[in-house]
Amino acid sequence: MNKAWILAAVLATAVGIGLAQGQRTGGAPQGAQSEGALGQRPGADRQPELPIPNIREYKPRTTLVVPQHPVPRAKFPVIDIHSHQPTPISAAQFDTIATAMDALNLRVLVNASGASGDRLRQGLDAIRNSRHKDRMVYFAQINFRNVGPGFGQRAAQQLEADVKAGALGLGELMKDFGLRATKADGTRLEMDDPELDPIWTTAARLNIPVLIHTADPQEFFQPINYTNERWLELALYPERRFPPSQFPSFDALMGERDRLFKKHPKTTFIAAPRGWHAHDLGRLGRMFDEMPNVYGEVGAVLYDLGRQPRTAHDFFVKYQDRILFGKDSYQPDEYPYYWRTFETADEYFDYYRDYHAFWKLYGLGLPDPVLRKLYYQNALRLVPGIPKAGFPN
């Protein structure tokens, strides 16, 4: 099914390009790719004499010489509000993680992998009995399966028990909530389904935040063609494709999510990967303006922030009380790219994953007060149960 969809998309693009070229006189300068070119130049129809490299082969070495300031260790201690760790974690695993955390100046990880009931208690016990008991905390989880009458009440009661046991928040509610989770009658569970209301009102009453990941990058919902910024990733990972024949559109899911956020203004929601609007910070800003109960974390969208350093800088300054640090995938060697992007004004430096972004990053050069809020102060405010040890006053 996916193959047919891709083929149709590629054909549609080919037709589209053909039409666009036909509209211009004599074809696009230097081929269809040079969108910014100004009209015809001599030699515009030239073809390369050498074999054209594929997308993974062309890796030009930059000749740019500018100051470099790698940042292996964050300037202030950091709370990662969105991490994924084993449950329960073994003493040896935790020793390894704590050593890496110390080198990075990562102070606390929020384990958002999802645990509830006995499993949550096992996870919490493993941390309490470890040598690093103030370095990891838990959020509780809800499994949205076969949602029918009474589900919301039962889930809310379980959430309350989990918080009593020591969970400090709810989530990560994964993207399946919205994309794939179904009700008992087989229909898709809409995120703002009234059956779930007791969960959100209970979170508000218990004063715990809800970490929620809705949908995926916008391009995952678009045809896979050579104008799609995530072509390589979509070509590599079939499960990341959300064709319209099988899934709601990106905007339909965002609309559903926003209705949920607005319906429960007393519930604090942390939208994972910036609600996937890091490529359109104006949209995210309007969302923050309209919904004072919504916060954003920065995991997995560094490539979007680092290609708009001035816009992102101004956004972080304006919304400095609404942003949290979260990395999602726990890879110790990737954190320094975040520190460098947030803390320095470096130019044109490498990003770590070619299928996220084929471009370079630029530093935002955030001021210290904003860095402190991003790294730990906002998290301590939203999640008061996080151990305060190790943070400056």
Instruction: Name the packing angle between helices 91-104 and 335-343 (round to 10°).
Output: 20
CB 328 within 8 A of CB 299: yes
Q: Give the Cα-Cα-Cα angle 218, 269, 111 (nearest 5 degrees).
A: 90
Shortest Å, Cβ 367 to Zn ion:
29
**Which of these segments, 55-63, 184-192, 280-288, 323-331, binds Zn ion (CB under 5 A)?**
323-331
Alpha helices per DSSP H over 167-243: 176-179, 197-205, 231-236
If the CB atoms of residues 24 and 119 are measured against Zn ion, the closer one turns out to be 119
If the CB atoms of residues 141 and 228 are measured against Zn ion, the closer one turns out to be 141
Identified binder of Zn ion from the candidate list 83, 106, 136, 172, rule CB under 5 A = 172
Shortest Å, Cβ 361 to Zn ion:
22
Q: What one-character DSSP code corresponds to residue 142?
A: -
If the CB atoms of residues 229 and 328 are measured against Zn ion, the closer one turns out to be 328
Burial class (CB in 10 A: 0-12, 13-18, 19+), 232: middle
Structure tokens belonging to residue 268: 């604090």
CB 351 within 8 A of CB 359: yes
Instruction: List the interface residues with Zn ion, window 19-48 (CB under 5 A).
Output: none
**Which of these segments, 136-144, 164-172, 247-255, 371-379, binds Zn ion (CB under 5 A)?**
164-172
Terminal-to-terminal C-alpha distance of the chain: 56
Looking at the DSSP bridge assignments, the partners of residue 108 are: 79
If the CB atoms of residues 81 and 370 are measured against Zn ion, the closer one turns out to be 81
Instruction: List the interface residues with Zn ion, window 101-160 (CB under 5 A).
Output: none
Instruction: List the interface residues with Zn ion, window 262-281 (CB under 5 A).
Output: none
Give the other-Cβ count within 10 Å of 251's Cβ: 11
By CB under 5 A, residue 162 contacts Zn ion: no
Query: How many residues bind to Zn ion according to rule CB under 5 A?
Result: 2
If the CB atoms of residues 219 and 328 are measured against Zn ion, the closer one turns out to be 328
Give which of 321, 312, 325, 322 is closest to 365, Cα–Cα. Answer: 312
By CB under 5 A, residue 219 contacts Zn ion: no
**Which of these segments, 11-19, 27-35, 170-178, 318-326, binds Zn ion (CB under 5 A)?**
170-178
Q: Which residue is nearest to Zn ion (CB)?
A: 328
By CB under 5 A, residue 80 contacts Zn ion: no
Shortest Å, Cβ 67 to Zn ion:
34
CB 160 within 8 A of CB 183: no
Q: What one-character DSSP code corresponds to residue 53?
A: P
If the CB atoms of residues 162 and 172 are measured against Zn ion, the closer one turns out to be 172
CA 59 to chain centre: 26
By CB under 5 A, residue 328 contacts Zn ion: yes
**Which of these segments, 88-96, 314-322, 324-332, 347-355, binds Zn ion (CB under 5 A)?**
324-332
Binding site for Zn ion (CB under 5 A): 172, 328
